[in-house]
Amino acid sequence: MLGGTAIGAASSDGAWIAALLDVEAALARAEAALGVIEPHHADAIGDAATHLASALAPEELGREAVCGGNPVIPLVERLRAVCRQTGVPATAVHKGATSQDISDTAPMVLARRAGALVVMELRAAADAAAALARTHRDTPMVARTLGQHAVPTTFGALAATWCSGLDRAAGALTAVMAEPPVQFGGAARTLAVLHPQDLAIADGLAEELGLADQSVPWHAEHTLIGELATALGVAAGTIAKTTTDIIALAETEIGEVSEDSPGGSSAMPDKRNAIAAITARAAARRVPGLVATTLGTMDHEFQREAGARHAEWETVTDLLRLTGGAAHRLTQSLTGLHAHPEAMARNLNATDGLLLAGRITDALAAYTDDAHAIVTAAAVGGGHALATDPTILMYLGAERLRELLDPTAYLGHAGDIVDRVLSARHGADSTAQSGPDSNRSNTGLAGREAS
């Protein structure tokens, strides 16, 4: 309902188990490449991991994880049991690693896979907003501030605001996830078990998984997880802003937009709810609390925390699922969003030109220092009073006053704002397409470690 179908599959319990086993298999390959274990043992470990990923039920592993407080302990036991059947010694499985090496690296694999879907949906939503901005560049509507009519603007300018925010959020999340780092530190971040090969094993593990080198183990320093959570929170906030606008504009009294596939009601046959935007907003509203929880789990003590990391696993998974689901539902809303220019024109003229009082004041100020007081007094009688006030007419004349009261002639740079947003997107796309391929380096989630 909240749009999490695709992202849910990429961040499910099954996906978690697959990621954990991918790390174990990659560790075996990295160690085999350095002669730490036999190559045919690494192959057998990889086959066993593939088998377990499809055969192991999450609820079974969950029950087995209770005693040790993390799923890696029973998972390694199961992996060793399968490998033993093919002659692989238990010492070749999970060699030199601690549970947290696996349970910290697996989320990086998971975040890369699921995060790519979140970014894809944010980009799709931004594309849909850009299309609305382009189509309605010059469609006049009321700008609203503090819940009141302000001055004229265009629907294109509003849609460009949505587009700009979504693009920015997608870019920030992309940067954070550019190359999430591997985590390999051994029992207490010293890499002592297989010294002096552990650092090379860590680099090989990163290479096998397509992750960034860790620079240093980050067992108890989870800044990068905080950065990921914050980027997801900002993306959800941008989605919430856009959906709030859509829901308000779709209200019966305003009626300036409607969704292509509105939701109905079990009791009221007439209802046409902007349900895609509503459910996107619902998902996004759950995110800030999860961001706070994630930031609150950064107080890891010494070399291994007691509980903070455990609170992080499900929280970050929910952040990915909810933000991705919200972005997906927003994309559906924007892709099928219908603008109603006739309703926009009706609302634009609802106050008989009262929203242009500031423009008249500016024009009147060229003739009298009492311009503000004169217009304020006239405005009490409503917009029609501005057009008939004798004092205003005396200074400006009927023809000039009619020109000043035309809302479509007071759009400022609304169209230029649309052009700038669309031009910036085109420029960014061109740069991305023509820019050099990036090398594996300590960027994004790994940037803090590199610096």
Which residues neighbour 438 within 8 Å (Cβ) at sequence distance 6 or greater?
178
**Known catalytic residue: 258?**
no
Options 134, 272, 285, 304, the catalytic residue: 304
The 3-class secondary structure across 213-271, one letter per residue, is CCCCCCCCCCHHHHHHHHHHHHHHHHHHHHHHHHHHHCCCCCCCEEECCCECCCCCCCC
User: Which position among 54, 63, 261, 265 bears the catalytic label?
Assistant: 265
Residue 275 one-letter amino acid: I
SS3 306: coil
Q: Catalytic: 164?
A: no
Contacts of residue 115, Cβ cutoff 8 Å, sequence gap at least 6? 173, 177, 228, 320
| Residue 409 to residue 412: CA distance in whole angstroms | 8
Distance CA 116, CA 106 (A): 15
Please work out, in degrees rounded to the nearest 5, the angle formed at the alpha carbon of residue 218 by the alpha carbons of 217 and 222: 170
Q: What is the DSSP letter of 143?
A: E
b/e code 10-30 from CB counts within 10 Å (16+ = b): bbbeebbbbbbbbbbbbbbbb
Q: Which sequence positions are flagged as catalytic?
A: 265, 304
